[in-house]
Chains A and B, each alone.
Chain A
């Protein structure tokens, strides 16, 4: 993530490049509320100096983007419009703003809360006794710095299934044939042996089912 000073005004406010004045206004209000020292959302996570610096940048961004003329000029500097650049004049090279990260929209049907087992603070990523269960897969994923959402994006596996696999929630897992496919895809993302992971996980699942009769 780039520093605040390196981000474009649109990125600072997390506003769409083609945003209407109303969208800019709303983005400004949200950004400002997030970082106000009195914000219930951030509590005292930031020092007064940090909050002030962030808020200054937010105000600066809003001052430009909320003024039609200033915004046009700023857009031209970003290389978004050609009108402001006289013919034959090479526009100043400005780094094009990166696309905003996708927003996690509110789900219409929220998934049930699925408590994962706590991460074992001291354990490494090596699977105990060569066993790959949900806990081990999760520890490996975290160790590699990979978010669950990234696995979901890469593999197209529903995030509820991913959580169920990591939580060893055998009762809500998909049918074995699908599960093996999912496990192999997850293993590939984690640079593990797909067949070994699938075998180990499903063995554990069968053992668990056997114990429960």
Chain B
């Protein structure tokens, strides 16, 4: 895979990886939000996605780690904001 050297592509890769975590996790995101243990519940999947991301995104990309964190919140939390849970 071509090395990712731009923030835009890094952001895109992060979003794709995190949305895959959600898609392949079945109902785990909803349950994780309901039980307020989303990131523990999906910890192995997120760790793998993060490892893949950091491997392919060049260190020169500003705030590359944070771009992944933003994708996590955007896709897993905000993307599922209609879930009924006490944490809202």
- Say whether B77 contacts A41, CB under 8 Å: yes
Which residues of chain B are near A111, meaning CB under 8 Å? 26-27
- Say whether B77 contacts A34, CB under 8 Å: yes
Query: What is the predominant secondary structure among interface residues of chain B facing chain A?
Result: helix
How long is the Cα–Cα vector from A56 to B81 in the complex, in angstroms?
20
How long is the Cα–Cα vector from A72 to B51 in the complex, in angstroms?
48
Task: List B residues 3-35 near A (Cβ within 8 Å).
Answer: 9, 11-13, 15-17, 19-20, 23-28, 30, 33
- Taking A111-B26, A143-B2, A148-B23 as contacts, is the C-beta distance between A29 and B88 under 8 angstroms? yes
Query: What is the predominant secondary structure among interface residues of chain A facing chain B?
Result: loop
Known: A110-B30, A148-B20. 19 other contacts (CB 8 A): A14-B81, A34-B78, A39-B87, A41-B33, A41-B77, A42-B73, A106-B30, A110-B26, A113-B25, A113-B28, A114-B26, A123-B1, A124-B1, A142-B16, A145-B12, A147-B20, A148-B23, A149-B23, A159-B23
Residues on B lying within 8 angstroms of A by beta carbon are: 1-2, 9, 11-13, 15-17, 19-20, 23-28, 30, 33, 36, 38-39, 48-49, 51-52, 55, 69-70, 72-74, 77-83, 87-88
